[in-house]
Amino acid sequence: MGRRLVPLTLDNLQDLPQRCRSCVFWELDPVSAEAAVRAGTTVVEKESWISAVLLDWGSCGRVAYVDDVPVGFVLYAPPAYVPRSMAFPTSPVSPDAVQLITSFIMPRYQGQGLGRTLVQAVAKDLLRRNFKAIEAFGDTRWKEPACLLPADHLLAVGFKTVRQHSQHPRLRLELRSTLSWKEDVELALDRLLGAVHKEPALRPL
C-alpha cells in the first residue's frame, strides 16, 4: 500500500472532502463567514485564502494519499491568518506558535497512524522554518468530524494543555521537544514519502 504526503496547493485542493473545500469556519471571522454562506461564495473564499497564505507565508497544509487516493489532510498557519481563532475563550494562540487549524482522515483509513504522521509532517516543516511550537483549540465534547479536533486526539499525539476550558482548551506541542524523536519522525516520513535519499539533519532551535 503506497502512502505519500504532498503540500496543499490550489491544484490539489479538490482532493479535500467537499464540505472542507467549502468551509470557511477558520478562514474568515464569524460575521464574514456567515455572509459568505448566505452569498454562496464559500468555495471562492476558501481558494482565495489558500492562495493568499501560500503567496505570503508559504505551505499551509499537507494532503495524504494511499495508492494515489486522497485519504486525509491537515491545515495550519500562523494565527494572524486565522481570524476565527480570536473568537475562542482560550485565545489568543501564542505569538511563537503556528496554529494547527484542522485535520481529517477518511473513516476507513483511521486507526492506521495517519493522524500522527500528519502532525509529524507539520512539526518537521515548522522546525525547518524556525517556529517553536504548534497550538490548537481542542473540543472536549467532540462526537463527529467537525472544524475542531477532539482534545483527546491532540493529547494522544503529544500536545499538552496550556489553557484549560470545559469545552475548548488550547493545547500546545513544543517543537523543541520533538528534537528528541526527530530521527523517528524522519524515518516515518521517509517511509511514507518513499524517499530514496537522506535529508539533512534539522538544526536545533
Burial 110-128 (b: 16+ CB within 10 A, else e): eeeebbebbbbbbbbbbbe
Give percent helix, percent strand, percent coil of the chain, each to the nearest 5: 40, 25, 35
- Fill in the amino acid letter for 164: Q
Task: State the pLDDT confidence band at 17, using cuts at 50, 70 and 90.
Answer: very high
Residues in contact with 143: Cβ distance below 8 Å, sequence separation at least 6, in sequence order: none
Least confident of 72-76, 143-147, 200-204: 200-204
Q: How many residues does the chain have?
A: 205
Strands (E), 67-159: 69-77, 97-105, 133-139, 149-150
Which helix H or strand E contains 189, and what residues bound it? helix 182-193
Cα 178 to its chain centre, rounded Å, is 17
What is the spatial distance between Cα 19 and Cα 64, in angstroms, rounded to a whole number?
17
Q: What is the pLDDT of residues 149-200, one digit of tens each?
A: 999 989 988 899 999 999 999 999 999 766 555 555 555 445 544 443 443 3
More confidently predicted of 187 and 19: 19
* Average pLDDT of the chain, as a whole number: 87
In this predicted structure, what is the pLDDT of residue 190? Answer: 52
In this predicted structure, what is the pLDDT of residue 202? Answer: 42
Give the predicted TM-score (pTM) of the model: 0.84
Do 191 and 158 contact (CB within 8 A), yes or no?
no
Check residue 93 and report its DSSP letter. Answer: P
Q: What is the pLDDT of residues 64-111, one digit of tens each?
A: 999 999 999 999 999 999 999 999 999 999 999 999 999 999 999 988
42-51: long-range contacts, CB 8 A cutoff, minimum separation 24: 46/13, 46/21, 46/22, 47/10, 47/13, 49/24, 49/81, 50/8, 50/9, 50/10, 50/13, 51/10
In this predicted structure, what is the pLDDT of residue 70? Answer: 96
